[in-house]
């Protein structure tokens, strides 16, 4: 049977796109091809189709207008690092932190899996822009998929549709080619594969967002980090937030944290009363990914390449993150959460203390939250919410030029080692601080508590090339930016007392630390030089309204040299992985740290 191409409008005349789509159609053999133009009419028809087949369920139109519920298969609930590959032509270019396979070998392995995989199905051609349409920092992708779930999520997460081709033009070949098929959702044959030199991503046998929304981590970090290295910009796993002072001036900060360290909470921070009363405001530009490029004035500018939030539902509530919860109230897709049958809404653990009794759990089984000993929502259940829903979304969210960055912040979960906040001595030292970033495992995560896991710049699973070269790219960017480079800081909200209780209140009160950071950027605050970097004087952290005095802040800022000597040993071990690809500047920084600790 001949494939039918349904093109409501001719979306592009770009031969590079058309030829590649034709090749993939010939390989996958769908019954029909539908080009996604992004129109409401087309999307409404796809939603209706997904609801009619049971792939998705429409939720309460009064309480959750435009919202849908979806369930993945039980074997398909998270990103799978073991099945994620970087297929650079040379193995050494993938580096020791990525799974590598020869691209020829991987294409040979996967091509038969895709051969005829879409027979009896529709292939959707999704053009999308990562970043605002027309932005010089934006990039174009085309994802081919046999999943309506992917189309509807990509509509939320990206600028999807015909307009995406505006940045590409008629002749450019600079677009990311994404091929996805659900196939049989077979975990034994599940692959998420990146070919950086070919601008290509292939994903098969998964229907879960993190593996199939190819604009997200696959393009926006793994492929984009490689593009950024070659083109002189940066793709980072960083939130972007703006702090507006009472005079109406806004300063922007990016921050990178490993998972479970409060990244989304910080991105959507609500100022504590002492700052709110004074007229300060916080604006969200992005909660997950930043693309950064030097602007015409030599400063570093950032855009959020995404258009929505792909958030973890459990633990999100009105207290932990009011703004994130508000973002989910309309036109949101919920995946693997509880369906409350009494009013056809959703619920998850940590939403409130009133679980529904008449409900369906994430597996599709009847569930009573009052009596069941099983969780109703999967721990990695998700919401895909439009950024425009967020009450604190920045007015600069769609600014094609991006926002100028004053400070870059790194952080992890450390019980004793890292102080509440310190500033790097300079950019090179800041790259050292970011490259050695680590978090300690918690009791919830594993039996062994306090194991240090290094996650440089929170990019360990997402760097699309050799991490030693990635560190070098950071150092090169610093040279390019010179004295206009953002200042670099490290924070730790997770210092504990001897009983294991957190000392710092966290959440909105983290703004108190950000204010010192911005004062340092503007030359308005003093600092004390320590062996690890510049620290605030305890009295320079505003604790008004907190049940904490400056002696507690002094304790939070203390640097235990013996612990840091142990830390240095761990850094030596970690750096050894990178061999001669580790920039000499970083081994020199480690040596200098050890000398300062010995003083």
User: Catalytic positions, please?
Assistant: 261
Annotated binding residues for GTP, as ranges? 260-265, 382, 413, 507-510
Q: What does the angle CA 144 – CA 149 – CA 153 come to, to the nearest 5 degrees?
A: 85
Q: Are 431 and 475 in contact (CB under 8 A)?
A: yes
Torsion angles phi and psi, residue 339, rounded to 5: -105, 110
Bridge partners, residue 6, by sequence = 34
Using a 10 angstrom Cβ sphere, with 0-12 exposed, 13-18 middle and 19 or more buried, the burial of residue 394 is buried
Residue 494 to residues 52, 499, 562, Cα–Cα distance (Å) = 47, 13, 19
According to DSSP, the β-strands at 421-423 and 487-491 are antiparallel
Tokens of 398: 């769609």
Helix residue ranges per DSSP H, 248-289? 263-267, 273-278
- Report CA 316 to chain centroid distance, whole Å: 17
Contact 157, 217 (CB under 8 A): no
Spatial contact of 61 and 432, defined as CB atoms under 8 Å apart: no
- The pair of structure tokens assigned to 252 is 């922007």
Which residue numbers belong to the known binding site for Mn(2+)?
217, 237, 288
- What are the binding residues? 79, 208-210, 217, 237, 259-265, 288, 380-382, 413, 507-510
Secondary element (H or E) of residue 404: strand 403-411
Going by C-alpha positions, the residue among 310, 290, 288 that lies closest to residue 300 is 290
**Residue in the block written with tokens 């793709």:** 235
**Residues in the annotated binding site for substrate:** 79, 208-210, 259, 380-382
Q: How far is CA 408 from the centre of its chain?
A: 16
Rounded distance between C-alpha atoms, residue 438 and residue 461, angstroms: 14
Phi, psi of 177 (to 5 degrees): -95, 115
């Amino acid at each position: 049977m001949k494939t039918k191409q349904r093109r409501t409008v001719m979306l592009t005349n770009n031969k590079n796109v058309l030829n590649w789509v034709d090749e993939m159609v010939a390989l996958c053999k769908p019954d029909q091809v539908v080009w996604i133009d992004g129109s409401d009419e087309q999307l409404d028809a796809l939603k209706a189709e997904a609801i009619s087949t049971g792939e998705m369920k429409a939720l309460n139109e009064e309480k959750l207008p435009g919202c849908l519920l979806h369930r993945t298969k039980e074997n398909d609930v998270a990103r799978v690092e073991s099945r994620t590959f970087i297929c650079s032509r040379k193995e050494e270019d993938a580096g020791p932190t990525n799974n590598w396979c020869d691209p020829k070998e991987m294409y040979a392995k996967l091509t038969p899996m895709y051969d005829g995989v879409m027979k009896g199905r529709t292939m959707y051609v999704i053009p999308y822009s990562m970043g605002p349409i027309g932005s010089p920092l934006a990039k174009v992708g085309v994802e081919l998929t046999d999943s309506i779930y992917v189309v509807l999520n990509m509509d939320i997460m990206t600028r999807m549709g015909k307009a995406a081709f505006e940045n590409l033009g008629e002749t450019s070949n600079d677009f990311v080619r994404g091929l996805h098929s659900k196939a049989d959702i077979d975990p034994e044959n599940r692959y998420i594969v990146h070919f950086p030199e070919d601008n290509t991503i292939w994903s098969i046998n998964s229907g879960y967002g993190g593996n199939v929304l190819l604009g997200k981590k696959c393009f926006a970090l793994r492929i984009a980090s490689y593009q950024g290295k070659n083109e002189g910009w940066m793709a980072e796993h960083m939130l972007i937030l703006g702090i507006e002072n009472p005079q109406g001036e806004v300063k922007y900060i990016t921050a990178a944290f490993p998972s479970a360290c409060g990244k989304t909470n910080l991105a959507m921070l609500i100022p504590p009363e002492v700052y709110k009363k004074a007229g300060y405001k916080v604006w969200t530009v992005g909660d997950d990914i930043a693309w950064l490029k030097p602007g015409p004035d030599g400063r570093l500018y950032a855009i959020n390449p995404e258009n929505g939030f792909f958030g973890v539902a459990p633990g999100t509530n009105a207290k932990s993150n009011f703004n994130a919860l508000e973002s989910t109230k309309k036109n949101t897709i919920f995946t693997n959460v509880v369906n409350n049958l009494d009013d056809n809404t959703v619920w998850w653990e940590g939403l409130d203390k009133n679980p529904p009794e008449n409900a369906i759990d994430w597996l599709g089984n009847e569930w009573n939250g009052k009596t069941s000993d099983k969780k109703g929502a999967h721990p990695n259940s998700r919401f895909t919410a439009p950024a425009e829903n967020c009450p604190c979304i920045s007015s600069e969210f769609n600014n094609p030029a991006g926002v100028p960055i004053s400070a870059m912040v790194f952080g992890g979960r450390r019980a004793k080692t890292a102080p509440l906040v310190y500033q790097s001595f300079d950019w090179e030292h800041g790259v050292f601080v970011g490259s050695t970033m680590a978090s300690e495992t918690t009791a919830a995560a594993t039996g062994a508590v306090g194991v240090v896991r290094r996650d440089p710049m929170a990019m360990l699973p997402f760097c699309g090339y050799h991490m030693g070269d990635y560190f070098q790219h950071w150092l090169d960017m610093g040279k390019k930016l010179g004295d206009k480079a953002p200042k670099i800081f490290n924070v730790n909200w997770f210092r504990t007392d001897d009983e294991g209780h957190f000392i710092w209140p966290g959440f909105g009160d983290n703004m108190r630390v950000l204010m010192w950071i911005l004062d340092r950027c503007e030359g308005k605050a003093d600092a004390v030089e320590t062996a690890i970097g510049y620290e605030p004087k305890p009295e320079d952290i505003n604790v008004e309204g907190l049940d904490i005095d400056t002696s507690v802040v002094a304790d939070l800022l203390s640097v235990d040299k013996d612990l840091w000597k142990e830390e240095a040993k761990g850094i030596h071990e970690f750096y050894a992985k990178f061999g001669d690809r580790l920039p000499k500047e970083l081994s020199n920084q480690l040596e200098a740290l050890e000398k300062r600790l010995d003083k």
